[in-house]
Amino acid sequence: MSDEALFFTPATELASLLRSGKLSPVELVRAVLDRAKRLQPRLNCFITLTAERALAEARRAEADIVAGRPLGALHGIPFTVKDLVNTEGVPTTFGTVVHRDNVPSEDAVSVARLRAAGAILIGKTTTPEFGSGPMTNSPLFGSTRNPWDASRTSGGSSGGAAAATAAGIAPLAVATDGGGSTRIPAACNGVVGLKQSNGVIPHSQAQDLFGNQTYVTPTTRTVADTALMLQVMAGPSAVDPWSIGLRAHDYAEAARPQGDLRGKRVLHCVAPPGRPVSKDVERSFESALQTLAGLGATLEPFAGGGFDVEPIWRAINHTVWRARFAPLVEKHPETFSETFKRQIASAASVSGVEYQEAMFARSALFKRVQGLFERADVLATPTLSRSALPIDQDLFGAIDIDGQRFDNVRAYWYPWTMLFNMTGHPAINLPSGFGSDGMPLGLQLVGRFQEDAQLLQIASHFEAASNFAMHRPSGL
């Protein structure tokens, strides 16, 4: 197998090649490490590569195969981890200068499960400070560039994870999502990004266990790889109350596109009122809906009124950030970006009553989304209102959509992602086409609460019919 083919081979196929002895774990890990080193100056998607440790683990993995020992589901497969997620013995800086020397003493639960299944960590991927923005840049590591066009952002806050995956560096990536931070970069980079239902993957680093709206997530190039990753990462853990008591699912089996979508009902909306999308996104979304209809699904529009959620999300999220990070900013103001400091400062005006009112509104949003699912199996929206923004986009600057300028990046670029962090419903970005600028576009499908397996099944049908997963960035 050529290196080019190897880099874009799904993990589901790599697993078979490794088990059969047709591919060496050492050969695979060495190849992806070499690719990571070669592309790092162009993409800037890693904070560190764990080459020595990864090759040692690859040699042990190869010895296990030769000896006929029991093998895990991900035996010998390389993966990356976002710099927000703890990795034992490997720096986790949270994209900040103040934590640049932080080395966790244990893995996050999600990482530990991947490693226990035989996956091999090759490096940590970039994030903005504490995952605080939809573009991946930080004072510690600079900006992460999009493999489709280096003048564009890779999105955020899991921009390093998505860029590395899209570039063929490793097939599996651990990301996070607090308002779209997996799905936004997945759409920007043309990969699959799932935000699963609340509790499906235990979150061992959440500080507010009960009000938490952030998720540790998989990012891959195919739905089947996402399902394989989810299969390993999911399951109850004592550290996350939302995970306790959840029933098990065979996600890998669910992601096989058997049959069609006859009998499935899709409710769709291109944007909430007052939130425009580009002509490219509108065309891509309509084409995606026709693909679903061609598979037998029944389509019905829903009104987007009442889903202007950015003010609610911001009142909750920025207050949490202020509680967590204001002491650090006060102690080390020179180490943080002005953008981060401005976000932390903005929460000072949110009172305790206003915070609780936002939590009440969050509960009402859950009920409203639940009401939509009384007549739907899945919801469909564009993931973003336009393709990847310029690399130097300011979070507090204007966003351009087909020549019109709008003054709120969060509200106008990704009006549909924050909603499902707050309600807990599973939501997945799927590559759905390309804009006239040659950049990837994404479709967001949203499933019933705790019915992630059905969402993956529907997503796999769309992926197989659309075949966008076969596209790769050129010139890498």
Over residues 38-73, the pLDDT tens digits come to: 999 999 999 999 999 999 999 999 999 999 999 999
Q: Which of 154, 157, 385, 460 is catalytic?
A: 157
Please give the C-alpha separations between residue 313 and each of 131, 212, 329, 364, 426, in angstroms, as whole numbers: 15, 12, 22, 13, 17
pLDDT at residue 169, rounded to an integer: 98
- pLDDT by residue (tens digit) across 91-105? 999 999 999 999 999
C-beta neighbour count of 369 within 10 angstroms:
21
**For residue 1, what pLDDT band results from cuts at 50, 70 and 90?**
low
Residue type, 409: V
CA-wise closest residue to 440 among 198, 186, 65: 186
Strand pairing class (427-434; 440-447): antiparallel
Mean per-residue pLDDT for 229-257?
96
Sign of CA dihedral 450, 456, 457, 461: positive
User: H helices within 44-90, ranges in order?
Assistant: 51-67
Q: How far apart are CA 454 and CA 473, in angstroms?
A: 30
Predicted confidence (pLDDT) per residue in 340-370, tens digit: 999 999 999 999 999 999 999 999 999 999 9
Contact in structure between 200 and 224 (CB atoms under 8 Å): no
Catalytic residue check, 157: yes
Give yes or no: 387 in active site. Answer: no
Q: Look over the chain and give the mean of its residue pLDDT values, rounded to a whole number.
A: 97
**pLDDT above 70: percentage of residues in the chain:** 100
- Residue 181 bears catalytic tag: yes
Q: Say which of 24, 110, 138, 181 is annotated catalytic.
A: 181
* Phi, psi for 438 (deg, rounded to 5): 80, 5
| Structure tokens, 356 | 């609780």
Place of tokens 């895990």: 72
Which residues contact residue 217 at a Cβ distance below 8 angstroms, ignoring those fewer than 6 apart? Answer: 158, 174, 175, 176, 177, 182, 193, 194, 195, 196, 201
Locate 384 and state its tokens: 């973003």
- Sorting pLDDT into bands at 50, 70 and 90, what band is 12? very high
Distance, CA of 476 to CA of 465 (rounded, Å): 27
Question: Residue 470: pLDDT band by 50, 70, 90 thresholds?
Answer: confident
Identify the structural domains of the chain with CATH numbers, from first to last: 3-470 (3.90.1300.10)
Give tens-digit pLDDT for 150-187: 999 999 999 999 999 999 999 999 999 999 999 999 99
Q: At what angle do helices 452-466 and 223-233 cross, to 10 degrees?
A: 160
pTM of the model: 0.98
Q: Which tokens is 424 given?
A: 């807990």
Strand residue runs (E) in 144-213: 145-146, 149-153, 172-177, 192-195
The residue-averaged pLDDT of 382-407 equals 98
**Whole-number CA gyration radius for the chain:** 21
Q: Residue 4: its pLDDT value, please?
A: 78
- Amino acid identity of residue 194, one-letter, is L
Confidence of residue 338 (pLDDT cuts 50, 70, 90): very high
In angstroms, rounded to a whole number, what is the distance separating the alpha carbons of residues 273 and 268? Answer: 14
Q: Residue 172's beta-bridge partner residues?
A: 79, 220
Tokens of 430: 């799927």
